[in-house]
Amino acid sequence: MSTAAEVEAAVARAWEVRKELAGLPASVRAGALDHLSRGIAERADEFTAVNVSENGKPEKWAAAETARAVSTFRWAAEEARRWSGDLQRLDTDPAATGRLALVRRVPRGPVLGIAPFNFPLNLVAHKVAPALAVGAPIVLKPAPATPRSALLLAELLAETDLPEGAWAVLTMSNEETAALVKDPRLPVVSFTGSVPVGWSIRDAVPRKHVILELGGNAAVVVCEDTPDLDWAASRTATFAMYQAGQSCVSVQRVLVAASIYDDFRDRVVKQVANLSVADDVGPLINEDAAIRVESWVTEAVDAGAHLLCGGSRSGATIVPTVLEGVGAGAKVVDEEVFGPVMVLSAFDSVEDAFASVNDSRFGLQAGVFTSNLQTAFRAGAVLEVGGVIINDVPSYRADQMPYGGVKDSGTGREGLASAMHDLTEEKVLVLTGIDL
């Protein structure tokens, strides 16, 4: 664990180096990010093994996360090279004849990045990469349960030409982080994690720029005109249960057109039953988390829900679980399960389904399976979420695209260019007497 002196030194150096880092040539910042991308690729097996050992994640999902981190840093390097600003003519008004504005984005200041346990490498990458791309020092606090992936990344960071203080990885408890959140030398806080903690951070520092990537209870809508029911069932089953459901966009609520409900239910239950707990699902982060998920399932069943498969627990592992007939107000519907549990229900009209999706305090992403273009655009217009995925599950994410939610799912966006905008603010240079 980092000592108090080490924490102070990291924050002090980040504050001292902020102007030097912001003034570095784009080639230096992009080169460092390229080095991280190449280094992870060259040591992919090592990064994957560390992820498995500290997180319990099945190897195939850990390997996929490693590959995504390679891509995330590569995209950041490319965006760093494109980070140029805009020219704006001001002579559209006669009084501004001969004037031209150069609008650039500059770092708001050093960033405190707080990362979660469920993606201990790639969500760390989504803190580090955009900060370094814009020239903002970053003090990174990985999750206490999974610090080793971040520390392994730090070995690669230490090989770059970035100045001392440009980055630091601090291993500390969640309680100790509260003082860092309030430190005025860290004017930006980027947090990914639970809803209560996220909003408490924003409440604690209302004058800071706070970016929150929080939870969700992601919904899938399976329409009557779904082009391929087997594909829909397979994707829904896989991404409700992958990584033991420990993803903010894990499939949780599945709304199916009444006319195809029985058919789809049979297909998805068969797909879930074919999943390997060891190779496809994996354990939860600890036994306490598994006990909580088990209690929520038991509560729903005791209230009248029908258990279609799964529901049992062994240590930190929950057998993939499918429920139907879940009553209103059940935690497995209203809250974020963050476990391998999906809830099936039928709908009569697409508008009813969309209303059910919106009947949630969360709004991260949603998936809609349909072959109707009008339905697809309608979903994009009315669903109260940060992203709508057509003919796939809400778990889909390309690391370069804007990613984030509304309502209790947070504020701000990740995805390299979007995050770079979030970490910076506009600064205008007006040139006068220019012959345009």
Give the pLDDT confidence of 156-168 residue by residue, as tens digits.
Answer: 999 999 999 999 9
Q: Report yes or no on 344 lying in a domain.
A: yes
Q: Which of 246, 342, 259 is nearest to 290 (CA)?
A: 246
Question: Are 256 and 281 contained in the same domain?
Answer: yes
Give the pLDDT score at 18. 98
Q: What would the pLDDT profile of 100-118 be if each residue is shown by its tens digit?
A: 999 999 999 999 999 999 9
Enzyme catalytic residues: 213, 248
- Residues 278, 425, single domain; the answer is no
> What CATH code is carried by the domain that includes residue 267?
3.40.309.10
Same domain, 113 and 194: yes
pLDDT digits (tens, 9 = 90+) for 207-224: 999 999 999 999 999 999
Q: Residue 235: what pLDDT?
A: 98
Say whether pTM exceeds 0.75: yes
pLDDT of residue 174: 86
Give the per-residue pLDDT at 236. Answer: 98
| 105 and 91 belong to one structural domain | yes
Task: Report the alpha-carbon distance of residue 350 to residue 383 in Å, rounded.
Answer: 11
Same domain, 229 and 201: no
- Number of separate domains in the chain: 2
Handedness of CA 9, 15, 19, 22 (dihedral sign): positive
Give 387: exposed, middle or buried? Use CB within 10 Å, 0-12, 13-18, 19+. Answer: buried
**Separation of alpha carbons 190 and 181, rounded Å:** 10
Per-residue pLDDT of 263-298, as tens digits, reads 999 999 999 999 999 999 999 999 999 999 999 999
- Residue 238: which pLDDT band, with cuts at 50, 70 and 90? very high
Considering the chain, what percentage of its residues have pLDDT values greater than 90?
99
Q: Any idea how long the chain is?
A: 436
Confidence at residue 434, expressed as pLDDT on a 0 to 100 scale = 92
Indicate if 161 and 254 belong to the same structural domain: no
Same domain, 158 and 59: yes
Angstrom CA distances, 298 to 180, 283, 371, stand at 39, 19, 37
51-61, pLDDT tens digit by residue? 999 999 999 99
Judge if 197 and 331 occupy the same domain: no
Expressed as residue numbers, the domain containing 338 is 219-390
- Model confidence at 230, in pLDDT bands (50, 70, 90)? very high
Pair (289, 376) in one structural domain: yes
395 lies in a domain? no
Cα gap 72→74, rounded to integer Å:
5
CATH of the domain at 45: 3.40.605.10
397 in a domain, yes or no?
A: no
pLDDT at 436: 84
Are residue 90 and residue 229 in the same domain, yes or no?
A: no
In a domain, 402, yes or no: no
Asked if residue 193 belongs to a domain, the reply is: yes
Residues 6 or more apart from 91 whose CB is under 8 A from it? 97, 98, 99, 100, 436
Handedness of CA 158, 37, 393, 270 (dihedral sign): negative
Residue 346: inside a domain, yes or no?
Answer: yes
Is residue 290 within 8 Å of 318, Cβ to Cβ?
A: yes
What pLDDT score does 45 carry? 98
343: in domain: yes
From residue 273, give the alpha-carbon distance in Å to each of 253, 281, 342. 18, 12, 13
- Spatial CA neighbour of 311 closest among 299, 324, 297: 297
Band (pLDDT 50/70/90 cuts) for residue 175 is confident
112 in Cβ contact with 10 (< 8 Å): no
The reply to whether 37 falls in a domain is yes
**Residues 114 and 260 occupy one common structural domain:** no
Residues 53 and 150 in one domain: yes
pLDDT above 90 (res 400): yes
State mean pLDDT over 357-371. Answer: 98
Helix (H) or strand (E) holding 196: helix 195-204
